[in-house]
Every structure is written in structure tokens, then in C-alpha cells.
Amino acid sequence: MDFTIARRRMVETQIVARGVDDQRVIDAMLKVPRHLFVDEALWGHAYADGSLPIGEKQTISQPFMVAAMTSALHLKGDERVLEIGAGSGYQTAVLAQLARRIYSIERISSLASRARRILDKCRATNVNLKIGDGTIGWKEQAPFDAILVAAGAPEVPRDYLEQLEIGGTLVMPVGGRDSQELIRVVRTAEDDFDEQRLMSCRFVPLIGEQGWNSDCEEG
């Protein structure tokens, strides 16, 4: 399998054809080797139109969802970005191409260490990755120009709003455990937030102090 060709086809048919037109996002997704972020047994499916299992009952997000969320942040290159739910590290690698520094949190240590290893292999040197409960954000590094959350919560954790720079943008799935709406929130002033619904989506649950409790992982 020629991964460069598969990747080009993925970008043309799943991303550009569905309306993503941010050239920087398109270029990043043409570049990042998505197959390296899944088990070798799944390499043949790495550029298919869907999410894939990455172990620990978690998934690597669908390529289109990565493109849609990333382009909703309108990154120019100089931003400090908070990412919650590194998972495989694929979305992290895409963000690393598009912003100055990425602060990423993953609660499952085995996923975090695998993500770190592959990010190092891809020379993503502008990523700080830590293990912990990302529902409370990363206070020591706040404020952030952009926040991207790759797991669904019942509502936007208040710490995210507090840790967002004025003028900054947050993208995350909000709603029930099984289906959510992808929302985009822009902090327009100290106490003013502009919220917009982008599309329906299905993400794994955001688990922690300001998300779902861990019982939700079962079943």
C-alpha cells in the first residue's frame, strides 16, 4: 500500500470534498502519517473514512472530524493550543504542524506514552504531553489561544472558559454520552462568549472532575 497516495485520496474525498478549505489544515493532513498512530494490523484501514480502535476502549477520530475541528480554530501559526484527549496523538501531530506550541493532556497513561513515542518519531518537538484529568485544563500554562477537546462532555467545563484567551476559540463535543453537537465558543470579552453549533458528532466520553464519571466507561 502506498500511504502517500492513500493519504492524498483521503484528503480529496473525505476532507476537501466535504468543504474544508483551510489550505494549512489540508497541507498538514497530507503530511502527517496517520497509519503510524494505529496498530500495524490496522494500517490498511488508516486512511479510511472513520474512527478506529486504539485500545483501552478509545478511538482515533475520523479524519474528517480532525479536519473540521482543526479548521474551526482558524490557526495561523503563532498560537498556544490546549488539547484534551491526546489518544493516539494523531490530532496532536496535526495541531503541531499548525501552531507554535501544543499542550496536550491524556488520562490513560499507556495511550499517552505510545502517543509520545510516535510524536517523537514524527519530530513533533513543540508538544508538551502530560497524563492527568484534562477536565480542569492546564492552569500553569493558561491562557490558551485555542482549546480543542476530543471527547464529549455534558457541558463545557468552566475551567476551559477561564483558561481561554480573550479572542481565543474552543471546539468541543457537548451533549449526551452517545451523541453530541460539536460546538465552537469564541471568548469575545472577559465575560462574553459567543457559541455556535457546527455539526452532530459521536465521541467517547470526557471522564473526570468536570466531565462524566468513570462508570460511564462500562457497557
Q: Which residues are catalytic?
A: 61
**CB of 192: closest distance to ligand SAH in angstroms?**
27
Among 88, 97, 169, 180, binds ligand SAH (CB under 6 A): 88
CA atoms within 13 A on the CB side of 74: 8
Q: Is residue 142 classed exposed, middle or buried when 0-12, 13-18 and 19+ CB atoms within 10 A define those classes? A: middle
**CB of 6: closest distance to ligand SAH in angstroms?**
17
Report the Cα 180 to chain-centroid distance in Å. Answer: 15
Q: 34 Cβ partners below 8 Å, 6+ apart?
A: 7, 10, 46, 47, 60, 63, 90
Q: Is 152 in the site for ligand SAH (CB under 6 A)?
A: no
The three-state secondary structure class of 188 is: strand
Nearer CB in complex with ligand SAH: 178/191 = 178
Distances (CA, A) of 169 to 13, 79, 116, 152, 165: 27, 11, 25, 17, 8
Q: Is 61 in the site for ligand SAH (CB under 6 A)?
A: yes
Which residues partner with 11 through β-bridges? none
Nearer CB in complex with ligand SAH: 6/54 = 54
**CB of 188: closest distance to ligand SAH in angstroms?**
27
Nearer CB in complex with ligand SAH: 88/169 = 88
Query: What sign does the CA torsion over 2, 118, 23, 69 have?
Result: positive
Cell 501544543, located at residue: 102
Number of residues near ligand SAH (by CB under 6 A): 26
Among 47, 64, 90, 160, binds ligand SAH (CB under 6 A): 90
Among 36, 82, 108, 124, binds ligand SAH (CB under 6 A): 108
Distances (CA, A) of 50 to 45, 60, 115, 172, 203: 9, 9, 19, 18, 12
Nearer CB in complex with ligand SAH: 6/103 = 103
Nearer CB in complex with ligand SAH: 136/190 = 136
**CB of 64: closest distance to ligand SAH in angstroms?**
12
Query: What string of H, E and C letters represents the secondary structure of 195-211?
Result: EEEEEEECCCECECCCC
Among 107, 114, 116, 187, binds ligand SAH (CB under 6 A): 107
Which residues of the shown chain bind ligand SAH in the complex (CB under 6 A)? 54, 58-61, 84-85, 87-88, 90-91, 105-108, 111, 133-135, 150-151, 204, 206-208, 211
